Amino acid sequence: MTAAKTATENPKKRPGRPKGKQSEARQKLILDKAEQLFAENGFHAVTLRQVAKAAEVDTALLHYYFKHKRGLFDQVFRRRGEVLNQERLTELNDYEARNGDSIDVRGAITAFVQPLLDKVESGDSGWRSYFAIVAMINNTPEIGGEIMSENFDPVVLRLLDLIERALPSAKKADLFWAYHCLSGGLTLTLSQSGRLDRLSDNLCRSSDIRTALHHLIDFSTAGFLSLAEK
């Protein structure tokens, strides 16, 4: 009885190439599950076995597709990173095209931040996971150093370029430092840590990214503008 039951319950997958073409979908599934797990637990706390189990796949398949753990992680990161990057550049370019003669700080920052909000509200919950990963590794040089700069620096330089035109009297270094402050707020927002909920006794919700970003835009606009008064 037990043997029969087990055999029925567990339709053991046999090795070998499966019928039909499902390899792409499976690769995506692996990335999705890995993304979620990395977002919840961080790089080192996630094991390939966990990912494999979540995707209902053998561990060896992960190595087949992604070589090693770090390869999987990088792909998780790049998959959305590249899409987002492109959209942010487009948004900044569009803003410049529309307002070339009267660029202002708030407009530039909004163009910089808007795509993030769009993604969060896109209905693809993977974006939230992706952002949590970004936030987590942003403060973890060992993992995030290279990959973050590589991915994000071009957009940031573009933003600062626009802001500089709105604030021609500001010194370059001051602009970088101001961006540093903005970047920190952004990161903390994306991490959805829940800290603010407790601090404010649930008056504010860190999962409410829309509100968070609006406040961040206000706050940072004021911060940048204060550079002109010196």
Partner DNA sequence: AAATTTATTCATTCACCGTTGAATTAAATA
Partner DNA sequence: TATTTAATTCAACGGTGAATGAATAAATTT
Q: Of 49, 98, 195, 210, which one interacts with its own copies (CB under 8 A)?
A: 195
Binds its own copies by CB under 8 A, chosen from 3, 4, 97, 173: 173
Under the binding rule (CB under 8 A), the answer on residue 125 touching its own copies is no
- For the CB of residue 196, give the shortest distance to its own copies in the complex, in Å: 5
How many residues bind its own copies, per CB under 8 A? 62
The radius of gyration computed from the CA coordinates of the chain, to the nearest angstrom, equals 22
What's the closest the beta carbon of residue 27 comes to its own copies, in angstroms?
A: 26
Name the one range near DNA by CB under 7 A: 8-16, 32-40, 146-154, 196-204: 8-16
Single out the residue of 84, 145, 167, 207 in contact with its own copies (rule: CB under 8 A). 145
The answer to whether residue 228 forms part of the interface with its own copies (CB under 8 A) is no
Task: Provide the phi-psi class of 16: left if phi over 0, else alpha when psi is between -120 and 50, else beta.
Answer: left
Using the contact rule CB under 7 A, the part of the chain among 40-48, 98-106, 115-123, 155-163 near DNA is: 40-48
Q: Does 79 bind DNA (CB under 7 A)?
A: no
114 contacts: CB under 8 Å, gap ≥ 6: 91
Which of DNA, its own copies, none sits in contact with 98, Cβ below 5 to 8 A by type?
Answer: none
Name 172's Cβ contacts closer than 8 Å, sequence gap at least 6. Answer: 164
Taking CB under 7 A as the criterion, the residue among 2, 9, 20, 123 binding DNA is 20
- Residues near its own copies, by CB under 8 A: 40-45, 135-136, 138-145, 148-149, 153, 156-157, 172-174, 176-189, 191-196, 198-200, 203-204, 206, 211-212, 215-216, 218-223, 225-226
